Amino acid sequence: MSTKHARRRRRAPSRGRRHLVRIASVLALLLLSSVATDSHAQAQTLDFGTARSLDGSNNNRNNPTWGRANVQYRRQAAARYADGIGAPVSGQTPRYTSNRIINDVNQNLFSENRVSQWGFTWGQFLDHTFGLRAQGGANAPLAFNANDPLESFRNDFGNISFQRSGVAPGTGVTTPRQQINTIDSYIDASAVYGNSADRLDWMRQGTRDGNPDNNSALMLLPDGYLPKASARGNPAAAPPADRDGLLRVNPDDATIAGDVRSNENIALTATHTLFAREHNRIVNRLPSFLGDNLRFEIARKVVGAEQQFITYTEFLPAVGIQLPAYQGYNPNVDATLSNEFATVGYRAHSMIHGEVEPGGEVADYTQAELDAIEAQGVEVVVEGDEVEFVVPLNVAFFNPNLLRQIGLGAVLKGIGGESQYKNDEQIDNQLRSVLFQVPKPGVPDPSVCLDGPSLPDCFQGVLDLGAIDIQRARDHGMPTYNGLRAAYGLPAKTSFTSITGESTSNFPLFDPQVNPFDPLNDPDILDFVQLRDIDGNIIPLGSEAADTDAVTGIRRTTLAARLRGVYGSIGNIDPFVGMISERHVAGTEFGELQLAIWRREFQRLRDGDRFFYANDPDLTLIRNTFGIDFRRTLSQVIVDNTELVTGDIAANVFKAPAGG
């Protein structure tokens, strides 16, 4: 710009400049939201009521606490406790049930709709956006029976750790116990930004004084990755982050994101990293004269809308969720997350694949880097000029450094390259038995701990996510299986076969007068006798295809028979077990009950959000003024923030390629 033009602009801003300044002023009023406590908000000079607060408050003007962080979950059905107040109902031991119903005996079954691993990865990213129960309840460990004939794992701790959820103040004494959601219920990218000014202040570039308003518009991303707890010098002063598995030994390596669970696995850490990068990409496209806070809030608004757009136009259709057409914001809809959804319906842990398989060019890694990755228990497969990494879940858990070593683009591409597991009654043993566990000392070759029959030899403790899912429903006072169906307008099931869609609930060739042995104590009841691929073709048992292509499996005994053996009566079925045992509705990843729960919840999260993307005129203003559009696929977001280019990944990353 010449000096002459600069002088003229100082004397009389051009018409275009004046237009942009006016738009910036309008945006300041429309978009800038409160990112501080009430006392700090009072010191502001702008109207914060027209955009999202960090904690979800005031989304609904008539009911400002609806959907806010730190309020009770909404209940769809009356609480069910043994004493009517807070004592969990009794029932079959969760690990006993898990061994007979949820045990996958190391046989992979994949999505019947070719939903990629982005199904469970995006699902977890969403979960960490709208739900986190308050902890702090009493320890109530689950029984573990080392002599169970169907037990194959060692547990030197004697039981399975379980802690009850914290009780909501004023409940559980004379009224039924309630639980609290500690984060806001809206799909608003809070997993990226957090729910408090203090946390956001740490994550934004600039000073650390509890006030994010005097910081840069950019998120703190050293070298393009989430900051470690030590990024600002004192790890002890960093915001809270869950540290388990490997991070117990190296706690300062924990990354900090909007949600405390960002380190749980590298796929999740990669997704957090992606959208922090996306925020910074948007900020860098905005004119600097808008100021740091306005650019930050514009980017935050767009990222939140992107998360919603991807959820409702890609993720939900991929798993088979179809919602009624959007009719606009409904202030009478309470978007507060329901206890039933958070505690039972959204627990789709069976989808989680036992391994992630990133890949890249060999030239992108030194031999020392490949050796360091392999030394952690990752299988490194070099073919020509390409390399593939097979990362088992137990290595991916709480291992954010591995993301840096492999690379963000490679991990994100790998998530979309293979189908997720089938959302059925089976959960991978890395979740069902050794969740977040570190291999015992002295294992000479970490590769034997990748997965499969060798897992029991690698670990000395048991943490069973399936058993925890069963007990969590009891802890939260969930209704019975049929009671939950009734709460969602579904008729009661009257037989075990009507749940599973199978032909019999009897064990084969079992006559107690001839053979007094209880079939529920016979490990052979879990054997697979036939496998089929997505096209219905039979796959030989024990073949390579059995590990990579099986979609349908037939066992020696029906699921209905095992349900009947464990529960005796349909009225005794735990809601989580009944839900995951249902035959899937065609074209979806769900049985009837889970499908109904998801449909109702995601419709409420859409219709009860004043800032849903289809109801927010600011997004159109941003698009028309700055050319920044939230209507982008996850594939486009990945390409714009990594070294990948269009064509490296599918246009719809939620669908795995044929043969994947």
Instruction: Pick the more confident residue, 430 or 555.
Output: 555
The one-letter code for the residue type at 91 is G
Give the pLDDT of residue 16.
Answer: 43
Residue 605 tokens, joined: 């999260």
Give the pLDDT of residue 518.
Answer: 82
In the CATH hierarchy, which top-level class contains the domain 32-480+582-641?
Answer: mainly alpha
SS3 percent helix, strand, coil of the chain, rounded to 5, is 40, 10, 50
Residue 637 tokens, joined: 């977001």
Give the pLDDT of residue 510.
Answer: 59
Give the pLDDT of residue 26.
Answer: 45
The one-letter code for the residue type at 360 is G
- Tens of pLDDT along 350-370? 999 888 999 999 999 999 999
Confidence of residue 377 (pLDDT cuts 50, 70, 90): confident
Give the pLDDT of residue 29.
Answer: 42
Confidence of residue 508 (pLDDT cuts 50, 70, 90): confident
Kind plus residue range of the DSSP H or E element containing 306: helix 292-310
Confidence of residue 40 (pLDDT cuts 50, 70, 90): very low
- Tens of pLDDT along 160-176? 999 999 999 999 999 99
Mean pLDDT on 114-142 = 97
Give the pLDDT of residue 154.
Answer: 84
Dihedral (CA of 266, 268, 274, 280) sign: negative
Confidence of residue 246 (pLDDT cuts 50, 70, 90): confident
- Taking 50 as the threshold, does the pLDDT of residue 140 lie above it? yes
- Taking 80 as the threshold, does the pLDDT of residue 106 lie above it? yes
Q: Which of 46-60, 220-234, 350-364, 619-633 has the lowest mean pLDDT?
A: 46-60
The whole-angstrom separation of Cα 370 and Cα 362 is 9
Mean pLDDT on 406-431 = 95
The whole-angstrom separation of Cα 102 and Cα 96 is 10
CB 261 within 8 A of CB 398: no
Across all residues in the chain, what is the average pLDDT? 89
Confidence of residue 515 (pLDDT cuts 50, 70, 90): low
Mean pLDDT on 375-403 = 93
- Tens of pLDDT along 427-465? 998 889 876 565 555 554 555 565 556 666 666 778 899
- Taking 70 as the threshold, does the pLDDT of residue 570 lie above it? yes
Kind plus residue range of the DSSP H or E element containing 122: helix 118-130
The whole-angstrom separation of Cα 582 and Cα 416 is 27
Could you tell me what percent of the chain has a pLDDT over 90?
Answer: 80
Could you tell me what percent of the chain has a pLDDT over 70?
Answer: 87
Give the pLDDT of residue 513.
Answer: 60
Q: Where are the domains of the chain?
A: 32-480+582-641
Give the pLDDT of residue 156.
Answer: 84
Dihedral (CA of 303, 305, 306, 310) sign: positive
The alpha-helical segments, DSSP class H, found in 173-291 are 190-193, 197-203, 266-285
Mean pLDDT on 587-614 = 98
Mean pLDDT on 211-218 = 93
- Taking 60 as the threshold, does the pLDDT of residue 27 lie above it? no
- Taking 60 as the threshold, does the pLDDT of residue 599 lie above it? yes
**Residue 127 phi, psi (nearest 5):** -55, -40
Residues in the chain: 660
Place of tokens 């050794």: 434
Residue 643 tokens, joined: 């070294």
Confidence of residue 30 (pLDDT cuts 50, 70, 90): very low
- Taking 60 as the threshold, does the pLDDT of residue 231 lie above it? yes
- Tens of pLDDT along 260-305? 999 999 999 999 999 999 999 999 999 999 999 999 999 999 999 9
